[in-house]
Amino acid sequence: MRIAIFTKRTVFHDGFGGLETHTTVLAEELTKRGYSVVVFAPQYKLSYQSKVQNGVTYRFVPSVYRMLFKNSSDNWYSASQQAFKLEHANEKFALVISQSSAGVGIIDNRDYFKVPVLSIAHGSILSEYKTRLLSVASVKDTAYLLKDILFVLINYFGRQRDFILGSSHVVAVSNAVKNSVIDETFVSEDNITVIHNGIDPSVFANITSKKETSSLTLVFIGRLEYVKGVHVLLKALYALQNSFVKLLIIGDGPYRSYLENYVTSRNLSEQVTFKGKLSHVEAMQTLLDADVYVLPTLRVEGFPMTLPEAMFARLPLIVSDLGGNKEAIEEGKNGYIVPAGDVPALIEKINSFVDNRNLVISMGDYSYKKASSEFSIDEMLNSYIEIIKKITK
C-alpha cells in the first residue's frame, strides 16, 4: 500500500519539534511494516527537493505556507495539490495522512482524488490561542495577540473544520485534544480516535547511564521559548537555594539568551547546564543521566513526545496541568501534576525527591512500566494500522 503524508515541516528543517519527530517515526515504522511512504512538505530553505532516508521518500515542494491567497500557485495549498497530482498519476496512493491541516488541499479536493484521508490532530485552534494568552509577556506581545484574532477566526470557522470534517477519520494524540476538537468542530465522536504518541524503547538499549548519586538532576527537553516555561523552573531552582539540585536544559531557541542571563545573574551557573541542540541519541543519553524530567510548559500541549521518552528512561515526571500532559501521569505513582506557572508547587514537588531519593527509583520504575504498556511504538503503530485498514478497505 502506498501512503502520502503531508506535513508543514520535517526533521530536516530548522526549528523542528515533536510533531516533526512524530512524522518521521510514523513514516519509518509504516515503512518497516511493508508500506510505501512518501512525505510531502514545503521546501523552505532546504537546498534539495527530494530525499530518501530509512526507506521513506521525501518530496520538498517549493512553496510558501500562508492562510490567504490559497489558490496562488506558490501557496502550499495549491502547490501541494499539484505535487500530489503528479505523484498520484505516476503511481496511485491508497491513503493520505494529514499532519494537522497540512493536507487540507487534498482534503478539499477529495472527490477529485478519490483517496481516503486520515488526519492527525495534535491540538486545536482555541487551545493554541489559550497558549498565546498565557505567553503574553509585554505590550508588544499584546499587539501580536490582537493580530492573532484574525488568524484564530479564519482557522476556527474555516481551515480547522475543513480538515477535521473533511477527513475519512481523525486521530487525536490525547483525550484532551479529542475533547477540544469535538467541542470546536462538532465532529462525531465515532469519527475520532485517541492514539497517544509512542516511541521505540530500543533507542536506550546501547546507551549506558552515567547517573550521579551526589546530586538530584532535573532535565528539560524542548525549544527554548517563553511558552515552554523554563523560566518558571529556573525561578523554582533559585528559590530552592539548594546546590544539591542540578538542571540540564536540552534545546535551543529565541529565549535562550534570556535564560542564560537569568542563570548568570542569580549565580546558578554551577547548577544549570545548557546542553544546546543535541542529536536524538545524545538527548536520550542525557535523559538516562538525569533523575527527574520536568515539563513546566505554559503551552496547551497535545501529548509531547518527550514524556514517553522520559518514561522509558525510567524517570519520574513533573508536568504542567495543561492539555494532554496529565495523561502520562498517575499522580503520586510516576510523577506529579502542577498548575502551570506555579513556582511554589514546583518547589514542593522537587523537594519531595530531594527528601526521598528512593522515590526517584520507585516512580521511575512505574514510569517505565506504564510507558511499556501504553506508549510503545508497537502499541501506536498497531492502532494506526487498524484504522488504516478500516478506511482503505
Q: What is the CATH number of the domain that holds 67?
A: 3.40.50.2000
The verdict on 93 and 22 lying in the same domain is yes
Q: What is the mean pLDDT of residues 330-348?
A: 97
DSSP state string for 155-217: IIIIIHHHHHHTSSEEEESSHHHHHHHHHHH---GGGEEE----B-GGGGTT------SSSEE
pLDDT of residue 387: 98
Mean residue pLDDT across the chain: 90
pLDDT of residue 69: 56
pLDDT of residue 131: 62
Query: What burial class does residue 58 get, using C-beta atoms within 10 Å of its C-beta: 0-12 exposed, 13-18 middle, 19+ buried?
Result: buried
pLDDT of residue 142: 53
The verdict on 186 and 270 lying in the same domain is no
Comparing 131 with 115, which gets the higher pLDDT? 115
Place of cell 510558501: 64
The verdict on 26 and 111 lying in the same domain is yes
For residue 153, what pLDDT band results from cuts at 50, 70 and 90? low
Query: What burial class does residue 261 get, using C-beta atoms within 10 Å of its C-beta: 0-12 exposed, 13-18 middle, 19+ buried?
Result: exposed
pLDDT of residue 138: 45
Give me the percent of the chain exceeding a pLDDT of 70.
Answer: 89
The verdict on 97 and 238 lying in the same domain is no
Q: What is the mean pLDDT of residues 321-332?
A: 95
Which of the given ranges, 141-145, 183-187, 209-213, has the highest pLDDT on average? 183-187
Rounded to whole angstroms, the Cα distance separating 323 from 321 reads 7
The verdict on 130 and 56 lying in the same domain is yes
Quote the number of domains for the chain: 2
pLDDT of residue 68: 60
Does pLDDT of 322 surpass 90? yes
The verdict on 185 and 231 lying in the same domain is no
Q: What is the mean pLDDT of residues 330-338?
A: 98
The verdict on 176 and 264 lying in the same domain is no
The verdict on 48 and 180 lying in the same domain is yes
The verdict on 97 and 166 lying in the same domain is yes
pLDDT of residue 324: 94
Does pLDDT of 151 surpass 60? no
Does pLDDT of 137 surpass 80? no
The β-bridge partners of 52 are 57
Rounded to whole angstroms, the Cα distance separating 239 from 237 reads 5
246-256 pLDDT, tens digit per residue, is: 999 999 999 99
The verdict on 334 and 235 lying in the same domain is yes
Rounded to whole angstroms, the Cα distance separating 305 from 375 reads 10
Give the residue numbers spanning the domain of 185.
Answer: 2-198+376-392
Extended strands (E) in the chain: 2-6, 36-42, 50-53, 56-61, 95-99, 117-121, 169-172, 192-194, 216-221, 245-250, 272-276, 292-295, 317-320, 335-338
The verdict on 180 and 230 lying in the same domain is no
For residue 139, what pLDDT band results from cuts at 50, 70 and 90? very low
Does pLDDT of 212 surpass 90? no
Does pLDDT of 152 surpass 60? no
31-66 pLDDT, tens digit per residue, is: 999 999 999 999 999 999 999 999 999 999 999 877
- What's the pTM? 0.86
- Residue 89 CB contacts under 8 Å (≥ 6 apart), including other chains: none
Alpha carbon separation from 376 to 180, 274, 361 (Å, rounded): 25, 29, 21
pLDDT of residue 246: 97
3-class SS at 125? helix
163 touches 103 (CB < 8 A): yes
How many helices (H) and strands (E) the chain has is answered by 15, 14
The verdict on 45 and 114 lying in the same domain is yes
pLDDT of residue 17: 81
